């Protein structure tokens, strides 16, 4: 596992932005890199806590599996769901080609 204190690089910012499907300009890469380095330095305080015997909490719920009866119920009308679509064709969302 890489050491988190190794400074965040521009390449890592570009990589992470790509993973998040977030377009980012070269100026933004530098700005976010510097700001995130500053934030990560503050966050490094996390390592001070001894968690060697502590389980992780993913959510605070008392309930575990919440089940309901498997009976069909009406859905929203397709027209209501499609009314906000930036591009559509008939009863479908229209998207660009995935590959050129």
Using rule CB under 8 A, residue 2 touches another protein: yes
* Number of residues counted as binding another protein (CB under 8 A): 58
Using rule CB under 8 A, residue 89 touches another protein: no
CA 98 to chain centre: 21
Per-residue binder mask for another protein (CB under 8 A), 18-57, x = binder? -xxxxxxx--x---x--xx-xx--xxxxxxxx-x--xxxx
Question: Hey, is 24 helix, strand or coil?
Answer: coil
Using rule CB under 8 A, residue 87 touches another protein: yes
Quote the strand ranges of the chain, DSSP E: 88-89, 92-93
């Amino acid at each position: 596992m890489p050491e988190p204190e190794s400074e965040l690089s521009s390449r890592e910012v570009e990589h992470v932005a790509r993973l998040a499907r977030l377009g980012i300009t070269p100026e933004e890469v530098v700005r976010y890199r510097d700001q995130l380095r500053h934030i990560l330095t503050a966050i490094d305080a996390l390592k001070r806590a001894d968690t060697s015997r502590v389980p992780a909490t993913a959510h605070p719920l008392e309930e575990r599996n919440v089940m309901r009866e498997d009976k069909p119920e009406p859905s929203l009308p397709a027209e209501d769901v499609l009314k906000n679509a930036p591009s559509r064709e008939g009863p479908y969302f229209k998207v660009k080609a995935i590959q050129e």
